[in-house]
C-alpha cells in the first residue's frame, strides 16, 4: 500500500517545500498547531523532530531546540499522544526524524506499529546503519507502510548511493554540503558538481536537498537541482521571533516561496 509520502511524489516532482521542526519547541504542546499552520501555508511535507540529548548530526540551532524541548518534557510517548487523531485534521505527509537510542528504548517494532496507527509516513534515523536496517528492520518498516529515508552526502561513493536508492521507497535526502544541520560551512547549495553527478545517476527515487537551506534564494537553487528542499534550522529560528506562531510561520513560508 502506498503511503502519503509516496503519493506526494507521484503527484508532484518539483518545488516541494518540506519543513523540519523539533517537537516540543518552543512549547510542549505546539506540535499539532505547527503542523496545521504549515499545511495551511502550503508546505508539502513535514518532518517532526524527536529531540535527543546528544544530537551528533545537528548544529547549534537544533541542539538548542532539542534541549528546550526535552526540558519542556517532550518524549516519544508524549509525541504519540499529541499526534493521535492528527489524520482527522490533515493528510499532509509526516516524517519522524530522530536518533536511534530513544527509538531503541521504546522498541523499534512497537515504535513502527504506533507510527502506522497514527498515520506517520516516513522515518529518518541518521545513526541507524543501512546494513542493520536491511537485515533487522526493513520488513518491520515495510509491514507498517513506513518509508525509511536515508541521507547521502557529497562524499558518499556512487556505489553506496545506488545501494541506498535501492533500499529507499520515498526519497533520497541529499545533504547539501559536509556539515551538521544549519550548514556550518555556509556553503548552501554551491556544490553543483555533486548535485549534477547524483542527478545523472538516474536514481529510482526523487532527491530532496537539505542542510543549510535558509531563504528563498537557497530554496530556489535547491529546487533547480532536485525535487525540493528541506528547511530546518532557519524555520526554528523563525519560531523564536516575537509574534504568534501563526504570524511567524506565515511570514517565514511566504519569504521562502517568493521568487528571489
Partner 1 sequence: MSYNVNEKGFYGKFGGAYIPEMLFPNVEELRQNYLQIMQEPEFQEELQGLLRDYVGRPTPLYFAKRLSEKYNTKIYLKREDLNHTGAHKINNTVGQVLLAKRLGKTRIIAETGAGQHGVATATVCALMGLECIVYMGAIDIERQAPNVARMKMLGAKVVAATSGSKTLKDATNEAIRDWISNPLDTYYIIGSVVGPHPYPDMVARFQAIISEEIKWQLQEKEGRQNPDYVVACVGGGSNAAGAFYHYLDVPEVKLVAVEAAGLGIDSGESAATSVLGKIGVIHGSRTLLMQTEDGQVTEPYSISAGLDYPGVGPLHAHLYDSKRAIFESVTDDEALQAVLELTRLEGIIPALESAHALAAIHRIGAKPDDIVVLNLSGRGDKDLTTYLNRFDLNGK
Residues recognised as catalytic = 47, 58
Using DSSP's 3-state secondary structure scheme, residue 224 falls into: helix
Contact status: 32 vs partner 1 (CB under 8 A): no
- Separation between Cα atoms, residue 135 and residue 147, nearest integer Å: 16
Q: Shortest distance, CB of residue 235 to partner 1, whole angstroms?
A: 20
Contact status: 56 vs partner 1 (CB under 8 A): yes
- Separation between Cα atoms, residue 250 and residue 194, nearest integer Å: 33
Q: Shortest distance, CB of residue 82 to partner 1, whole angstroms?
A: 15
Contact status: 75 vs partner 1 (CB under 8 A): yes
Contact status: 230 vs partner 1 (CB under 8 A): no
Which of 113, 116, 185, 246 touches partner 1 (CB under 8 A)?
Answer: 185
C-alpha distances in angstroms, 40 versus 199, 221, 250? 31, 24, 9
Binding residues for partner 1, rule CB under 8 A, total: 39
Considering the complex, state which of residue 79 and residue 220 has its C-beta at the smaller distance from partner 1. 79
Q: In the 8-state DSSP scheme, what is residue 176? A: S
Considering the complex, state which of residue 62 and residue 145 has its C-beta at the smaller distance from partner 1. 62
Which of the ranges 12-20, 31-39, 49-57, 237-245 carries the binding residues for partner 1, by CB under 8 A? Answer: 49-57
Contact status: 106 vs partner 1 (CB under 8 A): yes
- Separation between Cα atoms, residue 242 and residue 49, nearest integer Å: 22
77 with 58: CB under 8 angstroms? no
Contact status: 212 vs partner 1 (CB under 8 A): no
**Residue ranges in 139-168 that form contacts with partner 1 under rule CB under 8 A:** 150-153, 155-157, 160
Helices then strands, counting H and E runs in the chain, come out as: 13, 9
Dihedral angle of Cα 238, 36, 127, 108, to the nearest 10 degrees: 150
- Sequence-separated (6 or more) residues with CB below 8 Å from residue 64: 236
Contact status: 54 vs partner 1 (CB under 8 A): yes
44 with 11: CB under 8 angstroms? no
Contact status: 104 vs partner 1 (CB under 8 A): yes
The residue ranges that bind partner 1 (CB under 8 A) are 52-54, 56-57, 59, 63, 67, 70, 75-77, 99-106, 126-129, 132, 150-153, 155-157, 160, 175, 178-180, 184-185
Amino acid at each position: 500500500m502506498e503511503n502519503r509520502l509516496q503519493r506526494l511524489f507521484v503527484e508532484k516532482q518539483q518545488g516541494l517545500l518540506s519543513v523540519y521542526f523539533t517537537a516540543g519547541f518552543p512549547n510542549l504542546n505546539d506540535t499539532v498547531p505547527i503542523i496545521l499552520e504549515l499545511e495551511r501555508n502550503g508546505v508539502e511535507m513535514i518532518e517532526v523532530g524527536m529531540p535527543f540529548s546528544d544530537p551528533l548530526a545537528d548544529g547549534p540551532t537544533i541542539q538548542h531546540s532539542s534541549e528546550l524541548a526535552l526540558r519542556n518534557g517532550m518524549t516519544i510517548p508524549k509525541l504519540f499522544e499529541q499526534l493521535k487523531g492528527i489524520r482527522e485534521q490533515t493528510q499532509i505527509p509526516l516524517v519522524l526524524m530522530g536518533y536511534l537510542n530513544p527509538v531503541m528504548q521504546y522498541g523499534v517494532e512497537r515504535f513502527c506499529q504506533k507510527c502506522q496507527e497514527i498515520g506517520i509516513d516516513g522515518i529518518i534515523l541518521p545513526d541507524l546503519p543501512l546494513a542493520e536496517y536491511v537485515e533487522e528492520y526493513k520488513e518491520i518498516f515495510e509491514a507498517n507502510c513506513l518509508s525509511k529515508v536515508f541521507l547521502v552526502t557529497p562524499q558518499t561513493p556512487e556505489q553506496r548511493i545506488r545501494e541506498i536508492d535501492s533500499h529507499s521507497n520515498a526519497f533520497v535526502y541529499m545533504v547539501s554540503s559536509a556539515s551538521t544541520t544549519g550548514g556550518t560551512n555556509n556553503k548552501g547549495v554551491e556544490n553543483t558538481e555533486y548535485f549534477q553527478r547524483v542527478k545523472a545517476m538516474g536514481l529510482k527515487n526523487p532527491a530532496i536537498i537539505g542542510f543549510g537551506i535558509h531563504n528563498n534564494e537557497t530554496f530556489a537553487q535547491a529546487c533547480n537541482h532536485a525535487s525540493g528542499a528541506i528547511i530546518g534550522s532557519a524555520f526554528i529560528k523563525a519560531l523564536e521571533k516575537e509574534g504568534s506562531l501563526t504570524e511567524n510561520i506565515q511570514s517565514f513560508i511566504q519569504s521562502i516561496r517568493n521568487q528571489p
